[in-house]
Structure 1
Amino acid sequence: MASRAKSTKTSAKSKTGKRRFRPIAWLRRWILRSLLIAIATVTSLALLYSVVNPPITHTIWSEKRRLGDVDREWVPIEHISPVLVRSVVAAEDANYCLHWGFDLEAIQSALQDGGQRGGSSLSQQVVKNVFLWQHRSWFRKALETLLTPMVEAVWTKRRILEVYLNVAETDEGVFGVEAGARRYFGKGPDELSAREASLLAAVLPNPKGRSAAKPTAGLVKRAARIADGAATIRADGRSACFED
């Protein structure tokens, strides 16, 4: 009986005593909690931004910090010329209405080209611009790949495009098609001609190195191809998911 009582006492003491610190287990718990918090935060933001305009992005913030100020004004997609919307889609993701976040043909083509040109869809670019950062890395690409299907599931195609048109850089320190149209042509994005729309869309892959106001011969040729592409996606129905 005495031995049994002693064993019970020792067991109780061990339960009430301090637990031994295990750094690996602590680190594992910390990583798991951080991951869950990050997932919950991004999910909440994705739901919020489906109806509320993102106030800022990492790229806009970093450029504002570097330059001192940026030119940006949000404009609803209803106030953007349809030909400009189609031109941007034709330039950046002609099959936008045919996929759910990833254009496999574009990705395959980019890989065959040695990675010299991007294969990211508009949805992937929105995820990168709104939730992530511009610096290339496998980690960022992995996050982008995980987040894109969620955004596609929560946002409409029209909403994804609206956000892209308002956060994409169109010139150094200039973000969105409203500011870009006024910078290059002195008019709003709802007043652009087909040629002006295609020129603005043509600068998007390299806004710091290209100018729609003073286009090079190469940029003019690219704009002409974009204008043809914009007309094509309208004719064959590939603009149906974002047109009224």
Structure 2
Amino acid sequence: MAEYHEGDVPKGPSLFRRLIIFIFKGGFYFVALSILLVGFFAIIPVPITATMLMDENGVTKSWRSLDEISPNLVRAVIAAEDSKFCSHNGFDTEAIEKAIENNRKGKKLRGGSTISQQTAKNVFLWQNGGYVRKGLEAWFTMLIEFIWPKSRIIEVYLNVAETGIGTYGAEAGAQRYFNKSADNLSKSEAARIAAALPAPKKRAVNGASGFTRRYGNSISSRISIVKRDGLDSCIYK
């Protein structure tokens, strides 16, 4: 039987072992919490996002279910943002490869984000942030694609996307620019909102000119193509 001498200190787990345990516990809690949040928001409207909380211009928003949003706007954002929305698993590999190539050549930085990726970022994360945020974005994108139907993804996207300065969601944007509900947007009105989505603080919806106006006209003409070619088949049966 070993003798205990005064001054002896029982040895606990090593620092490395404690670090490994901490990392595993942290990872477990993060995964569990993220799955819980994604499952929760599969049913409950998203009340607030980090982007909204950090917006110095305040927040104007009004949640609307998908059947209260004009199909014109749904098709407009598919035409403008992600024509493969109904067929990909959250990531458009071809678009990502093109973005990497453009960025490698030193051209103006362009992203390859899908609607699913943008939804994951807007709901669970923050704007900017580099590779760490991109990694988290990929994780949440996989989760929402696995847990939510496509119709829920685009419903959430159209309710949390910034549609103007201090303005969030389809309903708030429709009221701000056209004094009407989101379910009554025409093709041209929906296209103008979609054209401004990538840079809502810089691109005008009303009185747009130059590139934004041409882009809006292009989106408007493609809305019928989205319907004709069934690019919205995961939303409208």
* TM-score strictly above 0.5: yes
The reply on whether 1:130 has 2:123 as its aligned counterpart is yes
Which amino acid in structure 1 is aligned with residue 156 of structure 2?
V
1:85 aligns with 2:89: no
Give the deviation of 1:22 after TM superposition: 2.6
Structure number with higher helix proportion: 1
> 1: distance between equivalents of 2:29 and 2:214?
48
Q: Deviations over 1:126-184 (max 9, x none)?
A: 11111111123111111112221221010000000000000000111110010011111
User: How far did 1:9 drift?
Assistant: 4.1
Give matches, 1:159-174, under 5 Å: 159-174=152-167
**TM-score normalised according to structure 1 size:** 0.89
User: Cα offset for 1:198?
Assistant: 0.3
1:133-212 residue pairs with structure 2 within 5 A? 133-212=126-205
| Equivalent AA in structure 2 for residue 147 of structure 1 | F
Find the structure with the greater CA-based Rg.
1
Deviation at 1:232, TM superposition (A): 1.0
* 1:43 matches 2:20: no
Structure 1 residue ranges without an equivalent (≥5):
1-7
CA distance in 1, matches of 2:137, 2:206: 33
- Aligned partner letter, 1:116: L
Say whether residues 1:95 and 2:88 are aligned partners: no
Question: How far apart are 1:214 and its partner, in Å?
Answer: 2.0
Counterpart Cα distance in 2 of 1:117 and 1:109:
9
Task: Identify the match of residue 72 of structure 1 among 53, 61, 69.
Answer: 61
Q: Which moved more, 1:111-120 or 1:51-60?
A: 111-120
CA distance in 2 between counterparts of 1:57 and 1:18 reads 48
Q: Hey, what does 1:113 align to over in structure 2?
A: 102
Paired residue total: 231
Aligned Cα RMSD in Å? 1.8
SS at match of 2:86: helix
Q: Which stretch of the first structure deviates more once superposed, 211-220 or 72-81?
A: 211-220
Q: Does 1:104 align with 2:93?
A: yes
- For 1:127 and 1:18, how far apart are their aligned partners in 2? 48
TM-score (norm 2): 0.92
> CA deviation digits over 1:205-240, x for unaligned, max 9?
000001111211221110111112221111111111
Alpha-carbon spacing, 1:162–1:22, altered in 2? closer, same or farther (3 Å): same
Q: Is the 2:187–2:223 contact (alpha carbons within 8 Å) kept by the matching residues of 1?
A: no
Q: Deviations over 1:172-199 (max 9, x none)?
A: 1110010011111111111111111100
Q: How does 1:14-53 map to 2 (within 5 A)?
A: 18-20=10-12, 22-53=14-45
Which ranges in structure 2 are unaligned for 5 or more consecutive residues? none
Quick check: 2:173–2:193 contact (8 Å CA) kept in 1?
yes
Alignment check: 8 A CA contact 2:121 2:137 kept: yes
SS of corresponding position for 1:78: helix
Question: What residue is the counterpart of 1:3 in the other structure?
Answer: none
Q: How far is the alpha carbon of 1:25 from its aligned partner?
A: 2.1
